Chain A
């Protein structure tokens, strides 16, 4: 990305687990072969120069069981005092061979596994997978099912963003309060999911060409009540935090992600929009029926953690607007394409890439079918994993406690990073 990393040294470090050579810290620079690209030390030199004199670097393994790392995730950081000199994310602790499992079973059998990717947003995961398979098989989705999908996805987005803000504030030191308020609202959304799908988190609800079952009686009214209360909660949540001086001091100007770096690194979702890039798949791709709804795409100006926080607050308000429109416009009708089949589903040979705007960014499923009952290739483009790749660029030169806040602002779920 923006330099600073010698590729060969990094690969060497990955294989041995050592970020630092045995000798003194300054040896990083010396160790690099003379023909290495000059990009290496150029961008990081100001910080490196000023700290080199202070002597010793300390390599710390942050995690894998650290409360701030959102699951089993390790960050190997090289510290000079409190300042991050180098940072290496180490993941794979939660690896479950998801993609191979998807290639082993039937197309339907992969659906419950997608719940477990980003376990906060199982419904958008279901949708992304269904979207890819529908593209592959050329299945149309009935109108009512499309509305149900939009409602489910936007509810997912609201609860994901609320909880993310809770986690972020937790990591910034606001112990308990914001996350409890967020979880209180999430509870209401999860109750809706439970009465709709039977499960609170592992919904397994969308099917190729529609939804598994229709809305239960009274669900729309219950959903309207929850959605009607959301603006009040969002006002409260914003009052609680948005002008809090401690939050501002901890997040403004911290972890600035430039638009160029964000685009080059493939960052998507709220992280990208916080850097001021207007790219929302709901607008750019117009999958499903998103072209029917009026909503705005909030954009950040600074690309720092505070912008990433604020983008989420604003996106929740836009989600409430979409929910209002979808709940008003949901038609009666079938929920499943009659051509769709549960068992012995064999799409014709070909390939398809289905993607959507998950709460964390672009979630894509790439499928190759060879005409048999299970996909020949099943590949996921996970937003949290790709967003995580810029972590070092955001953290280097900052203090260690800033790195924790930056990690919290990226919004990762390890189930999706490790797959």
Chain B
């Protein structure tokens, strides 16, 4: 007890002055009042915000425009193994480059965004939707393909910078592929 106890009570008074300053300051100084009145007031999500994965499709039709080619890289790399993919097959049983089943179990997913990082086709991106509570824990949190698909417009609203870059890349790749197909068809 020998260290620095001078006038008993002085330290407490000093602390109380600090508390009072914070209390009064919280009415005037925005740096002292950082909370918002959720759910009435909501802060916009930042560019890189992430919750759970979503599947991006181009154009208007979620089936035809889906960027996913069912390569299953995300399924393999997912740390908690919460993605399940089955490739679609045509009438003769040949594997098609699109998923028939694409499930993400959000009761397992930890939102690490490794799936979005490893996807070579920019098909899987991170959503920013929150408030995902459901009454049925297992059925309700197992998101099917139809619940996961989001349009490129939606992607542009939640990740504006990223989406612009990626849309340009996708358009470029498509143009190249079309040119190649035309050249191949002509020759």
Q: Specify which chain B residues have a CB less than 8 angstroms from the CB of A196 in the assembled complex.
A: 48
- Render B2-43 as a binary contact track against A, CB cut-off 8 A, 1 for contact: 011100111110110111011000000001101000000000
- Whether A343 lies near B4 (C-beta < 8 A) is no
Measured CA separation A314–B47 after assembly (Å): 35
B15/A109 in contact, CB under 8 A: no
**A243 and B34 contact, Cβ closer than 8 Å, known pairs A112-B79, A253-B1:** no
CA distance A248 to B48 in the complex (A): 44
Q: A194-B46, A342-B118 are in contact. Are A204 and B112 (CB under 8 A)?
A: yes
Q: Report whether B110 and A343 are in contact in the complex, using a CB–CB cutoff of 8 Å.
A: no
Is the CB–CB distance between A109 and B31 below 8 Å?
no
A120-B111 Cα distance, complex, nearest whole Å:
17
Chain A 208-246 near chain B by CB (<8 Å), digits 1 or 0: 000011001000000000000100000010011111111
| Chain A residue nearest to B3 in the complex (CB) | A252
Whether B111 and A108, one on each chain, are in contact in the complex, defined by CB atoms closer than 8 angstroms, is: no
Name the residue on A nearest B2 (C-beta).
Answer: A252
Q: For the complex, what is the distance from the CA of A347 to the CA of B49, rounded to whole Å?
A: 32
Q: A172–B31 Cα gap in the complex (Å)?
A: 27
| Dominant secondary structure at the B interface | loop
Chain B interface residue count, CB cutoff 8 Å, equals: 36
A195 interface hit (Cβ, 8 Å): yes
A202-B47 CB under 8 A given contacts A188-B34, A240-B15, A240-B18: no
Contacts of B110 in A (CB 8 A): 112, 116, 202
CB closest residue in chain B, given A101: B79
Q: Would A106 and B19 count as touching, CB distance under 8 A?
A: no
Task: Give B4 Cβ to nearest chain A Cβ, in Å.
Answer: 7
A241 & B112 in contact (Cβ 8 Å cutoff)? no
A243 touches B11 (CB 8 A): yes
Contact A109 B50 (CB under 8 A): no
A-B contact count (CB 8 A): 98
Closest-CB distance, A176 to chain B (whole angstroms): 11
B106 within 8 A of A: no
**B129 in contact (CB, < 8 A):** no
Asked whether B31 lies within 8 Å of A229 as measured between CB atoms, the reply is yes
Q: Is residue B77 within 8 Å, beta carbon to beta carbon, of the partner chain?
A: yes
Question: A181: which B residues are within 8 A, CB to CB?
Answer: 22
Contacts of B113 in A (CB 8 A): 198, 204
In the assembled complex, which residues on chain B have CB atoms less than 8 Å from the CB atom of A343?
73, 77, 118
A187, B9: Cα distance in complex, Å: 32
Contact A202 B15 (CB under 8 A): no
Is B79 a contact of A109 with CB atoms below 8 Å? yes
What is the distance, in angstroms, from B51's C-beta to the closest C-beta of chain A?
9
Q: Which residues of A contact B8 (CB under 8 A)?
A: 245
B98 CB → nearest A CB, Å:
22
Tell which of B11, B15, B48 touches A216, judged by Cβ atoms closer than 8 Å. Answer: B48
- Cβ-defined contact, A108 with B9, below 8 A: no
Let me know if A184 is at the binding interface, CB within 8 A. Answer: yes
Contact B48 A245 (CB under 8 A): no
A45 to B19, CA, bound (A): 45
**By CB atoms of chain A within 10 A, which of B5, B11, B22, B73 has the most?**
B11
| Shortest Cβ distance from residue B155 to the other chain A in the assembled complex, whole angstroms | 15
Which of B4, B15, B17, B79 is the one whose CB lies under 8 Å from A110? B79
**Beyond the given A116-B110, A343-B73, could you list 15 further A-B residue pairs with CB under 8 A, ordered by the A residue number?**
A105-B79, A108-B114, A109-B78, A109-B114, A184-B32, A195-B47, A198-B46, A199-B111, A202-B112, A204-B114, A239-B14, A239-B18, A246-B12, A247-B11, A342-B118
Interface residues of B, Cβ cutoff 8 Å to A? 1, 3-5, 8-12, 14-15, 17-19, 21-22, 31-32, 34, 46-50, 73, 77-79, 110-114, 117-118, 126
